[in-house]
Amino acid sequence: MIEYTLSEIATIVHGKLVDHTGFSDQKIKQIVTDSRTFFKGENALFFALTGPRNNGHKYISNLEKKGLNAFVVSDASSITPDAAFIQVEDTTKALQHLAEYHRKKFQYPVVGITGSNGKTIVKEWLHELLSEEFRIVRSPKSYNSQIGVPLSVLLMDNHFNLGILEAGISKSEEMKKLAPIIQPEIGILTNIGDAHQENFQSKQQKTEEKLLLFSKAKKLVFCVDDKNTTPLVQAFCKSHGVEAVSWTRQNNKALIQFTTYQENGNTTLEARISEKKYHFKIPFTDASSVENACHCFATAWILSENTEKILSRFGQLAPVAMRLEIKQGINNCLLINDYYNSDLASLSIALSVLHQQAKKGHKKKQVILSDIQQTGIPEDELYRQVNHLLQRWEIDRLVGIGPKISAHQDAFSLQKAFYPSTEDFEQEFLRTRFSDSIILIKGARAFTFEKISSLLQQKAHQTVLEIDLNALVHNLNIFRGLLHPSTKTMVMVKAFSYGTGDVEIAKLLQFQNVDYLAVAVADEGVELRQAGIQIPLIVMNPEEHSFQHIIDYRLEPNIYSIKLLEAFEEAVDRNALQQFPIHLKLETGMNRLGFKTEEEIESILSSLEQNNRLKIVSVFSHLATSDDPTFDDFTHEQFQRFDVLSDKIISRLPYKIDRHILNSSGIERFPGKQMEMVRLGIGLYGVSVTGLPLQNISTFKSIISQIKKLKPGETVGYSRKGQIERETEIAVVPVGYADGLDRKLGNSNGEAYLKGQRVPVIGNICMDMLMLDVTDLKAQPGDSVEFFGPHISISEVAQKTATIPYEVLTGISQRVKRVYLHE
C-alpha cells in the first residue's frame, strides 16, 4: 500500500500543488482512476485521466460531494477552492511516474509476464505454486494495461518479498512506458499470437515491442518451439545480456527439455535439465494449459531453492476464474461468485462490482469471505483493513469462513457470523438468513466456495445462457472507436436486451457511460428505473395506458403520430409539467411507425409552438437495408428524406435537437451519417456485417443427462426420424424447442460442440430435450454441451434456421437461466 503525502506526490510527478484547504500533508493510501469505483473513504487521490471518449475531469464535482478531497488534474479550470489539486501536463504519465518511483523503493525480485495469451493464468498459477515460499504481490485480475500496471505496482510494500506482474500492449511505444514501472528481474514471454495484431506492422514488430519489457531483466523464460519468434528472442537476450531460460516440447535445443503424455484427463510432464529429471502432473490435457505449466515450472525452478517441494502442487492447479459470475439466488437474492482467490486488491474490486449491481429490491449487501491467505500482512492489521473496506462499501453483513478470519472476528464492526470451515457453514445453513440481498461470495480456492454458491443459487434448469459482460464492453468500444468523440450512443435494450437480460446489461451500460438506453414498452423502462438505472430511457412503442408510468418514472416517449402527440400532451398537462422530453420518429422508407409528410411535420410544429409542455430531444428514423450493399441507393434516399424532414423541425425550434438514423450496420457502413447520435443494437451482441473484430457475448449451453448405446435399425425421437445405421452412442441433453432451440436444427441440420468436437443433432428436437450422436467421444453424463457460443456462431445457427441472429437471441426462453461473467 502506498503512503505518500500530497506534497510528496506533487514532487514525484513534477506537478504544481494547489491547496487552499491544508490537505497537502494528508497521507494518501488509495489511488482512484475511475469515479464509478469510489463509494466513499478517506486518504484517497483521484487521477483525472483523459482519453478519446472520456474525461475524468468532469467527475470531480461528484467526487467532491462523496468526500474525496485530493485530485491530480491536467485541466486548470477543474481546480476548486474546496479540495487540493496537483496540476500536471498529462495525468496518465503522472500516474506512471508515481508507480515508477514507488517501484524503485523495493529490492525484492519481480517477475514480469507478457505475451498474447496465458499471462493471467501463468501469474495465478505461479502464485498458487510459490505462495508457501514467498509473500507475493501480484497484479489484480488482468490489470496489465497502461493504467492497470501502475495500479498493480502501487500495491507493492515491504510486507511482500516477491512480485508477479503482467503487462499487455495493443500498439507500439506502449511497452517503453511499462518496462521502467515493472523493472522485472525475471521475465516470461508466454507466446506471440494474433491478438491486437491490427495495430502492429508485423508479428516481428509486435514481438520486438513486447521484448522491451525485459531489457534490464536478468533471466527470460520462453519456449523455443515457435520458429518465427525464437530467433528474435535469442538475439534480444544476447544483445541485452539476459540469460535465456529456454524450454521445448519438440526436442529443440533448449535448457529445459519437456516430454509429456496424457491419461484420464491428466498430463504427466517430465522436465530434464542437464542430467536432472523432474516429474509432475497437471489436471489438464489442452495444449494451452500444458504450455502455461511449462512456463510455471521454469520460473519456479529459477526462484525456488527446492524445486521438488513444489512438484506435487502442480496436481492441485485449477482453471483460473478470471471473471466474476453473476446469477440469481434464492429468496430474491443476486449472487456474485468470485471464489478463485482472496486478497485485498481483488476484494476491493469485487466490492465495487457488488455496489454497481445493487438495486433497490436488494435490501442488504452481504459478503461471504474466507481466510485471506499469504498476504504478508500481520493478521491483526489485515483484518482491520478488511473491516475498513467493508465499512467503506456499506456492507450490512459479513459471513466469515475459516479459522483465521474467525479468530479475528472482533476486528469487524458490522453484523457478522463466523464458521471454522465451509463444511460447518453447510451444516448450519438456513435459507431464511439470505433474502432480499446481493451477496458477494469471495474466497480462496481451497475453501471450495462453489458449494456455498450451489446452496444459495436459485435451483433452475441446467440449460444456461452465459453472458460475457467483458465481451459486451469490448464490442461497445469497437463501435465507439468508429464514432466522433462528440457523437452520442443510444443502446437498444428492448426485448430483454435481445434475450440477454435487461437489468444486468443496462447496469453495465450505465457504468460505461452510454448516453441513452432504448426499451420497447414502458414496463421495461419502469423495471430499469426500479433497478437503479438513472440515465435517459426512451420508450420506442409507448401506449396511452402507460403515459402515467412514463411521466412518473421519467421515461421519454417516441412520438410517431399526431394522435399520440395530442394524447401525451394532455397527460403532461394533467401533471402540470412543462418541457417534458419526447422523441419524434420520422418515416423515410421503412414504412412502419413515423411521420412521413411535410404536412404532418407542419402540424406537429404548430402544436408544439402553441405551448411549452413538450420539448423535442431528438428526431430519428430507421434504415431498412443498411446491411445490404444491393440497396445502397435506397439507403441514400432515406438519408436525403431524413435530412429534409429533420431540417424542417430543427430550423423552426429555438433549442438544440439531436438527430439519429444509423443502426449497428449503419454505423459500420455509413460513418459519415452518424450526426449527433447513433443507435447500437445487435452489433453490441457480437454481430457484424463488415467483419469488425467483435467478440461473442452469448454462450447457450447445457449438460448431458444420459448416454445410450444403440444398434443398427433402431430409431431416435418422434416420428422415428433418427435412423441408426451403425453402432451408435447418443447423448440426451435437457434442452428443446421450449428453451428456444429451433426444431429446424434437428435431423443433423444443427450441431453442438462437445469435448472439442462438433456433433450432429440426431432425430427431431423435442420440447424439453434433444439427442446428439456422440459415438467414439467417450462422453459422460454431466459433460458440457454448447449450442452457440465461441465454437458455433449465432450467425451460423440463424442461417441454418433461415432467420436472423435477433430472432435466435430473443427466442431463448425465460426459463433458461442467465449467468453473467464479469471481469
- Check whether residue 331 and residue 398 sit in a common domain: yes
Sign of the four-CA dihedral 410, 411, 413, 418? negative
- Which string of DSSP letters, residue by residue, matches 373-437? -S--S-HHHHHHHHHHHHHHTT--EEEEESHHHHHTGGG--SEEEEESSHHHHHHT--GGGS-SE
- Residues 252 and 371 placed together within one structural domain of the fold: no
Could you say which of 259, 288, 316 is where a domain stops? 316
Strands 27-28 and 16-19: unpaired
Amino acid at 184: P
**How is residue 566 written as a grid cell?**
395530442
In a domain, 633, yes or no: yes
Tell me whether residue 492 is annotated as binding. no
Note whether 174 and 292 are same-domain residues. Answer: yes
Residues 543 and 647 in one domain: yes
- Enter the pTM of the model: 0.74
In the three-class reduction of DSSP (H, G, I as helix; E, B as strand; rest coil), residue 88 is classed as: coil
Cα 156-157-161 angle, rounded to 5 deg: 85
Kindly report the number of other CB atoms within 10 A of residue 568's CB atom.
21
* Residues shown for the chain: 823
- How confident is the model at residue 500, as a pLDDT? 62
What is the chain's percent helix, strand, coil content, to nearest 5? 35, 25, 40
Q: Are residues 152 and 220 in the same domain?
A: yes
In the 8-state DSSP scheme, what is residue 55? B
Cα Rg, the chain, nearest whole Å: 29
Q: Same structural domain for residues 87 and 126?
A: no
Burial (Cβ within 10 Å: 0-12, 13-18, ≥19) of residue 55: middle
pLDDT of residue 35: 85
> Does 718 qualify as catalytic in the annotation?
yes
Give the residue from 685, 719, 745 where a domain finishes. 685
Shared domain for 508 and 598, answered yes or no, is yes
| Residue 532 sits in the same domain as residue 486 | yes
Position 464 in a domain: no
Q: Tell me, yes or no, whether 100 lies in a domain.
A: no
Q: What's the total number of domains in the chain? A: 5
Under-70 pLDDT residues of the chain: 1, 41, 194-198, 321-323, 340-341, 359-362, 374, 459-461, 495-502, 823
CA angle 135, 139, 143 (to 5 degrees): 175
- Asked if 714 and 664 sit in the same domain, the reply is no
Contacts 24+ apart (CB under 8 A), 232-240: 232/204, 232/207, 232/208, 233/189, 233/207, 236/208, 236/211, 240/214, 240/215, 240/216
CATH for 777: 2.40.37.10
Q: What is the pLDDT of residue 558?
A: 96
The answer to whether 767 is a known ligand-binding residue is yes
CB atoms within 10 A of CB 620: 24
* One domain for residues 674 and 801: no
Question: Is 465 inside any structural domain?
Answer: no
Residue 534: count other Cβ atoms within 10 Å of its Cβ: 9
707 part of a folded domain: yes
Q: Does residue 658 form part of some domain?
A: yes
Q: Would you say residue 543 lies in a domain?
A: yes
Are 110 and 132 part of one and the same domain? yes
Q: What pLDDT, in 10s, does the model give residues 568-617? A: 999 999 999 999 999 999 999 988 889 998 899 998 898 888 888 999 99
Sheet holding 334-338, edge to edge: 415-419, 397-401, 364-370, 437-442, 334-338, 324-328, 817-822, 464-468, 698-703, 784-788, 751-754, 757-760
β-bridge partners, 334 = 328, 438
If we measure between CA atoms, which residue out of 730, 731, 733 comes closest to residue 463? 733
* CATH at 600: 3.20.20.10
Environment class of residue 407 by beta-carbon count within 10 Å: exposed (0-12), middle (13-18) or buried (19+)?
Answer: middle
- Examine the residue annotation and report whether 685 is marked as an active-site residue of this protein: no
Candidate list 494, 507, 585, 673, residue with the active-site label: 494
Q: What is the pLDDT of residues 656-709, one digit of tens each?
A: 999 999 999 999 999 999 999 999 998 998 889 998 999 988 999 999 999 999
Q: Which of 459, 493, 518 is the last residue of a domain?
A: 459
User: C-alpha cell of 716?
Assistant: 431416435
From residue 823, alpha-carbon distances to 251, 350, 353, 473 in Å are: 38, 9, 9, 11
- Output the pLDDT for position 148: 93
Q: How many CB atoms lie within 10 A of CB 800?
A: 16
Q: Which of 139, 167, 163, 511 is nearest to 346 (CA)?
A: 139
Look at residues 642, 646, 694 and name the one whose alpha carbon lies nearest to residue 668.
694
CB 594 within 8 A of CB 586: yes
Q: Say which residue the cell 441440420 belongs to.
A: 749
Asked if residue 438 is part of any domain, the answer here is yes
- In which domain, by residue range, is 61 found? 4-94
Q: Do residues 182 and 79 share a domain?
A: no
Catalytic: which of 101, 108, 278, 718?
718
Give, as one character, the DSSP assignment of residue 283: S
Q: Extract the C-alpha cell encoding 586.
A: 420520422
C-alpha cell at 612: 411549452
Which CATH number belongs to the domain containing residue 19 in this structure?
A: 3.40.1390.10
